[in-house]
Amino acid sequence: MTEPTAIDPDVPPSGPGCVECLAADGWWVHLRRCAHCGHIGCCDTSPSQHATKHAGATGHPLVASYEPGEDWFYDYRDQQFYEGPVLAPPRAHPADQPIPGPSGKVPPNWQELLN
């Protein structure tokens, strides 16, 4: 976590759920927030792993958890967890959003579909 430009605490999150999953009727387990541009993507346990794909496609190296009560950052470059600044609100997805989510999109056999 040596490059301050990797984190822009003033950028709000892109929305309540994974950008790509919402566009494609997909679903996720946990959500990650790009610390640079606010992109919300799904975690590596999720079927589509959009947070990691976003980091790979853009070079934005840091994500923050977008789960209620979690405040860690993760750096893809060294695969380490860090503490970081307080990002622009909201700091997590809505509390009534189920895990996995979003509501109505999770298949009954979701546990067989995890990475």
Binding site for Zn ion (CB under 5 A): 18, 20-21, 34, 36-37, 39, 42, 48, 50, 58, 60
Yes or no: say if 44 and 115 are a contact pair by the CB < 8 Å rule: yes
C-beta closer to Zn ion: residue 24 or 80: 24
Q: What b-and-e string marks burial along 95-112, b requiring 16 or more CB atoms within 10 Å of the CB?
A: eeeeebbbeebbeeeeee
CB 68 within 8 A of CB 78: no
Output the smallest distance, CB 26 to Zn ion, in A: 5
- As measured in angstroms, the least distance from the Cβ of 108 to Zn ion is 19
User: 31 with 66: CB under 8 angstroms?
Assistant: yes
Residue 20 or 67 with smaller CB distance to Zn ion: 20
Smallest separation (angstroms) from Zn ion to the CB of 96: 19
Residue number with CB closer to Zn ion (42 or 64): 42
Q: How far apart are CB 72 and Zn ion at their closest, in Å?
A: 17
- Does residue 102 have a cis bond before it (omega within 30 degrees)? yes
Q: Which is nearer to Zn ion, 20 or 75 (CB)?
A: 20
Neighbours of 37 (CB within 10 A): 13
